[in-house]
């Protein structure tokens, strides 16, 4: 069975998120900025990376490895194209977190904004245990 997130166009998702009446894209960007700068870590995994909102706040002098995980291959292609400046530290991974959490590598810091409600607590807890941040 195909996950609905594999079929949602990135532009549809981001345009909805950025509507003034929704404001989540802008809010999440600021949240990511704070998350990425507030902790003394060198590796980060972003679950549900979508189009990479917030990646412009990655400091290459701080981060040695950035994992971007999403179920949608097209989202990951957009991230790779939009953030070529991070190509030496960014690894995009096409993973269905619900069924393939065992494929997730370790990272010191784990960001999963707006994800738990889509995958459920049990799948999220399993992913956290695997990543072991």
Whole-angstrom Cα distance, residue 12 to residue 129?
A: 32
3-state secondary structure of 102: helix
Residue 19 has pLDDT above 70, yes or no: no
Whole-angstrom Cα distance, residue 127 to residue 79?
A: 22
CA dihedral 96, 101, 105, 108 (to 10 degrees): 100
Q: pLDDT of 29-44, one tens digit each? A: 999 999 999 999 999 9
Whether the model pTM is above 0.95: no
Q: pLDDT of 76-119, one tens digit each? A: 999 999 999 999 999 999 999 999 999 999 999 999 998 999 99
Give the percent of the chain with pLDDT over 90: 75
């Amino acid at each position: 069975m195909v996950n609905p997130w594999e079929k949602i166009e990135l532009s549809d998702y981001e345009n909805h998120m950025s509507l003034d009446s929704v404001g989540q894209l802008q809010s999440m960007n600021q949240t990511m900025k704070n998350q990425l700068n507030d902790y003394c870590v060198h590796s980060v995994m972003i679950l549900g990376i979508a189009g990479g909102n917030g990646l412009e706040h990655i400091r290459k002098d701080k981060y040695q490895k950035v994992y971007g995980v999403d179920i949608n291959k097209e989202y990951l292609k957009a991230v790779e194209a939009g953030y070529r400046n991070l190509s030496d530290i960014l690894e995009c991974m096409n993973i269905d977190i619900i069924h393939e959490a065992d494929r997730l590598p370790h990272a010191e810091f784990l960001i999963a904004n707006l994800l738990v409600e889509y995958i459920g607590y049990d799948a999220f807890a399993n992913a956290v245990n695997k990543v072991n941040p």
